[in-house]
Amino acid sequence: MAYLGIVLVSFLLSLALTPVVRILARRTNLYDLPDQALKTHAQPTPRLGGVAIFLAIMITLVATRLTTHYPTGTIRNFRYILLGSIVIFILGLIDDIKPGGVRYKWKFLIQFLAAGILLAAAIQIQFLQPAYLAALLSLIWVVGITNSINLIDILDGLAATQVAIAAASFLAIGFPSEDIYVNILAAAILGATLGFLPFNLRSRGKLFMGDAGSLTLGYFLAVLALGCSYSFKHPYAVYAPILILGVPIFETLFLMYIRVKQGLSPFRGSHDHVAHRLQATGLSSKKILLVMGAATTALSLTAFWISRVETEEKALTIYTTLILSLLFIAWRLTAIKMNRVIVNQ
């Protein structure tokens, strides 16, 4: 009931703050303009929805802190998590406000610094040795997931839906035995994204989350993944977060593969996203949203199943089946004919 209360508070805050932020964005003329070939919206759209999401999460976390008692270690973890998230949020906000955005090299540098903040609180991969390898892979994981949510934010409601399902999955798989910060943070993220979603999906009065939203939410999800132990039954359950975040991870790897195969930099934009390819088959935006949401739900349920199976052999069988299935899907996606639209980034 306590976690449901956190979801509700965060939801109501996001629902109340989002229209306020939209008014602010309009008055300050902060619009996402349909001025590039890759833009799919027809009208200038306010893009500061991430501010409302971030404030809803932060206010909820502070309110929870003031009304409950955390273990000492959890308080320390929260301080470092919030500090890192503030760094990422400011980076995303500057990218939303600054004409031309922030160059990707600076983005990566700042993201690695924010990921490094987590290492100071020992929030990192715990099952690998030596320690320096675990720390290095933790940095790559945080930066990779942070950007994967940004990459998938190309269709109304897609990023928010993916994040909401993932947050709910981390809450379900971590409850009730994991570190309390995982459950509280997951509940706050779930509520905030659900509160924002109606404004992102509407045809009139629409609002984009922008980089301030997608990058920060990606950072939070990376943190959640590092906070769970997933299972004490077999070691292969530690890979469950890869399944929960499977759709944005697949999107990132698929885009990198396609762009490199075409002789392009993976940091250049193109019409090669999974959603673009599904659109090319004739699917509507709503159907794409449902298909990709269903995929994340199925992968999350599989992650929960893997965390509960009794033997390593069963877990390996599930993983093998999934890998083969994803390779088949990737092959089918690459066969879809696309118009080559490329922009510099």
| Digit-coded pLDDT (tens) for 168-209 | 999 888 765 556 678 889 999 999 999 999 999 887 778 999
Mean pLDDT score, 209-217: 94
The DSSP code for 32 is E
Tokens of 172: 């379900």
The number of residues making up the chain comes to 345
Q: How far apart are CA 199 and CA 196, in angstroms?
A: 6
d(C-alpha 48, C-alpha 24), whole Å: 9
Q: Identify the band that residue 273 occupies on the pLDDT scale cut at 50, 70 and 90.
A: confident
- Using the predicted structure, report yes or no on whether residue 344 has a pLDDT greater than 50: no
Q: How confident is the model at residue 78 (pLDDT cuts 50, 70, 90)?
A: confident
Tokens of 33: 């303009």
Q: How confident is the model at residue 287 (pLDDT cuts 50, 70, 90)?
A: very high
Task: Write out the residue range of the structural domain in which residue 242 sits.
Answer: 2-343
Count of CB atoms situated within 10 Å of the CB of 155:
21
Indicate the average pLDDT of the chain: 86
How many Cβ atoms sit within 10 Å of the Cβ of residue 176?
7
Helices 285-308 & 246-261 angle (0-180, nearest 10): 120
CB 137 within 8 A of CB 207: no
CB-based contact 243:178 (threshold 8 Å):
no
Q: How distant is the alpha carbon of residue 217 from its chain centre?
A: 5
The confidence band for 70, taking pLDDT boundaries of 50, 70 and 90, is: low
Q: How confident is the model at residue 50 (pLDDT cuts 50, 70, 90)?
A: very high
Q: Is the pLDDT at 258 greater than 60, yes or no?
A: yes
Using DSSP's 3-state secondary structure scheme, residue 174 falls into helix
Phi-psi region of 268 (alpha: psi -120 to 50; beta: other; left: phi over 0): beta
Place of tokens 């998230």: 85
Q: Which residues contact 303 (CB under 8 A, 6 or more apart)?
A: 169, 173, 230, 240, 241, 243, 244
Residues of the chain with pLDDT > 70, as a percent, come to 88
The pLDDT confidence band at residue 343, using thresholds 50, 70 and 90, is very low
At residue 230 the predicted structure's pLDDT band, cuts being 50, 70 and 90, is: low
Question: 108-159, pLDDT tens digit by residue?
Answer: 999 999 999 999 888 888 777 888 899 999 999 999 999 999 999 988 899 9
| Whole-angstrom distance, CA of residue 27 vs CA of residue 239 | 45
Where helices occur in the chain by DSSP H, the ranges are 2-27, 49-67, 72-97, 104-120, 131-152, 158-174, 180-201, 210-227, 240-244, 246-261, 274-280, 285-308, 312-334
The proportion of the chain whose per-residue pLDDT surpasses 90, expressed as a percent, equals 47
| Residue 303 near residue 245, CB atoms below 8 Å | no
Residue 342 is predicted with a pLDDT of 46
Distance from C-alpha of 118 to C-alpha of 111, rounded to nearest angstrom: 11
**pLDDT value at position 263?**
78
Residue 27 has pLDDT above 80, yes or no: yes
Q: Which of 195, 186, 159, 209 is nearest to 51 (CA)?
A: 209
pLDDT of residue 67 exceeding 80: yes
Residue 242 has pLDDT above 50, yes or no: yes
What is the predicted pLDDT for the residue at 31? 75
User: Alpha helices, DSSP H only, in 153-273?
Assistant: 158-174, 180-201, 210-227, 240-244, 246-261
Please state the domain count of the chain.
1
What amino acid is encoded at 249 in this protein?
A: I
Model pLDDT, residue 181:
74
Q: Which residues of 234-265 are buried (b: 16+ CB within 10 A; e: fewer)?
A: bebbbebbbbbbbbbbbbbebbeebbeeeebe
Strand 269-270, strand 45-46: pairing: unpaired
The pTM assigned to this predicted structure is 0.90
Distance CA 258, CA 271 (A): 10
- Integer Cα distance of 165 and 337 in angstroms: 30
Check residue 99 and give its pLDDT. 82
Which range of 39-48, 294-303, 306-315, 330-339 scores highest in mean pLDDT? It is: 294-303
